[in-house]
Amino acid sequence: MDNKYIKYSVEDFAQDLNFIKWVNNGIGHRDWVNFIHENPDLAKDIESAKQIVNALGYGSNDLQEGEVYESYMKIESLFAEHHKHKLTFSFKQFMKYAAFLALILSIGVAIPYLYFYRNSDKYTVIANSISTNNETRLILSGRGEILLKQKLSDIRFNAADNQIEVGNDSIISSSNLDKNAMAQVIIPYGKRSNILLSDGTKVWLNAGSKLIFPQKFSGKERKVFLKGEAYFDVFKSKETTFIVSTDKMNVSVHGTQFNVRDNDSDNELEVVLVEGSVSLKETSVMNMLSSEIKLKPNQKAVYSKTDEKTSIESNVDVAKYISWKEGLLEFDKENILSVFKKLSKFYNISFVAQSSVELNNKISGKLDLKESLQDVLKVISDVAPVSFRIEHDKVFVDTRLNYLPIL
């Protein structure tokens, strides 16, 4: 710690870059704490300077991950044209997985709105599937895109051997896993992926989600961007913080296990902590006003996008929130429509029902999603007054008339 600080006034501190970086980003925290400890007469001045730095924050404008990515894709294609970039790397092993596609300019998804007539009855969609592009996509910046057909794909960024492994046999090797390059995994409805990041962190990425991350982590922060739902088992590192950034929140950890759910279709963002400790901070709010929220194991934080408020629930049954990664769906007095929405995403099939069907019933239980959809629906029809018919790639939901409630 530079001796110059001993003579500093409030104004001097408030404009000093190291001081600013400490107040805003926590850089050099230990040094500053020690400095205050050794110079207690400066504590008040430092506190005033801190208040000034905090007051001089600007609001920021929300920028969605998708916006940056779309903008980037346009630039990258022009970049390629300009440099007549040839993608030169051995790719023969990937022929197994489908054709190699040139980078797509935008990620647009068409959601069909279906409206049926069956005799005189009208069925409307209650839970949507997504019909285009059913493969999991692994996009590597500067190298291209790979389509993965498996329902549960396995991707490993092996920093030690400098290669990216997909499944059991296919490998992309490079002379150097590029630290400056990003990677993106996009999971459609109906699929999931297990990803091992270059630092040893394991990620379970759920259907209908997207994860953007550096191919090789470097520097003081390990930052990934998530849209959708994922479970993280973060590799412990005292020197670097692992940050999961979603549109609304940043979740920071040093090494721990937790689940993050932030879907576009949800009104809430949910973080459930299994082990270790995490802190949450809103992304769009300046440091001073968004307090950091720390979670303890078995706590759940729910951030309401409409109210912009966070609430914490303790002693939650974490199994309920993370069972999806083992292919199990657990619910406790959950609205049956909400269950259909989750099944729709997992199996990538639409649910349609007549308006007369009661969808507000609450059910509890556990479904094994590794079983066929038929078997899963059978279980539901045992505990709720609904019957199912799978026809035309849709699940028709009808009221079950001979329902006897189990008392």
Partner 1 sequence: MKTDREIWENFKSGDKSALSYVYYQNFNSMFQYGMKFKDDREFIKDCIQDVFLKLIQAGEKLGPTENVRFYLFRALKNDIYKKIDKSKKNAMMEFLPFKFDAQFFLEEELAEKENTSNNEIALLKALKNLSDKQREIIYLRYDCAMEYDQICEMMQLKNDSARKLLFRAIKSLREVICDHKKEPVQFEI
**CB 205 → partner 1: shortest distance, Å?**
19
**Cβ atoms of 270 and 282 closer than 8 Å:** no
Surface-to-core class of residue 158, CB atoms within 10 Å of its CB (0-12 exposed, 13-18 middle, 19+ buried): middle
**CB 364 → partner 1: shortest distance, Å?**
42
Q: How far is CA 352 from the centre of its chain?
A: 28
Nearer to partner 1, 20 or 383 (CB): 20
Nearer to partner 1, 11 or 382 (CB): 11
Distance CA 47, CA 45 (A): 5
Q: Which of 4, 30, 40, 61 binds partner 1 (CB under 8 A)?
A: 61
Nearer to partner 1, 126 or 251 (CB): 251
Distance CA 271, CA 249 (A): 10
**CB 180 → partner 1: shortest distance, Å?**
4
**Cβ atoms of 190 and 347 closer than 8 Å:** yes
Closest CA to 211 of 195, 200, 199, 222: 195
Distance CA 162, CA 158 (A): 6
Nearer to partner 1, 24 or 338 (CB): 24
**CB 156 → partner 1: shortest distance, Å?**
19
Residues 282-321 that bind partner 1 (CB under 8 A): 285-286, 288-289
The DSSP secondary structure of 144-185, one letter per residue, reads: EEEEE--SEEEEEEETTTTEEEETTTEEEE-SS--TT-EEEE
- Draw the binding track, 205-224, toward partner 1 (x: CB under 8 A; -: no contact): -------------xx-----
**CB 286 → partner 1: shortest distance, Å?**
4
Pairing mode of beta strands 350-353, 394-399 = parallel
**CB 69 → partner 1: shortest distance, Å?**
9
Stretch of residues binding partner 1 (CB under 8 A), selected from 12-20, 91-99, 294-302, 376-384: 12-20
List Cβ neighbours of 380 (8 Å cut-off, separation of 6 or more).
336, 339, 363, 367, 386, 388
Nearer to partner 1, 233 or 247 (CB): 247
**Cβ atoms of 326 and 364 closer than 8 Å:** no
- Draw the binding track, 82-121, toward partner 1 (x: CB under 8 A; -: no contact): xx-x------------------------------------
Nearer to partner 1, 179 or 370 (CB): 179
Q: Which of 141, 150, 158, 194 binds partner 1 (CB under 8 A)?
A: 141
Site size toward partner 1, by CB under 8 A: 48
Strand pairing partners for 344?
A: none
Residues 70-89 that bind partner 1 (CB under 8 A): 71-72, 74-76, 78-80, 82-83, 85
**CB 193 → partner 1: shortest distance, Å?**
21
Residues 167-196 that bind partner 1 (CB under 8 A): 178-182
Tokens 């020690």 belong to residue? 34
Helix 29-38 crosses helix 43-55 at what angle (to 10 degrees)? 140
Give φ, ψ of 252 to 5 degrees. -110, 135
**Cβ atoms of 240 and 271 closer than 8 Å:** no
Residues 18-47 that bind partner 1 (CB under 8 A): 20-21, 24, 44, 47
Pairing mode of beta strands 249-253, 241-245 = antiparallel
Residue 326 in the binding site for partner 1 (CB under 8 A): no
Which residues here bind partner 1, judged by CB under 8 A?
Answer: 10-11, 14-15, 17, 20-21, 24, 44, 47-48, 51-53, 55-61, 63, 67-68, 71-72, 74-76, 78-80, 82-83, 85, 141-142, 178-182, 218-219, 285-286, 288-289
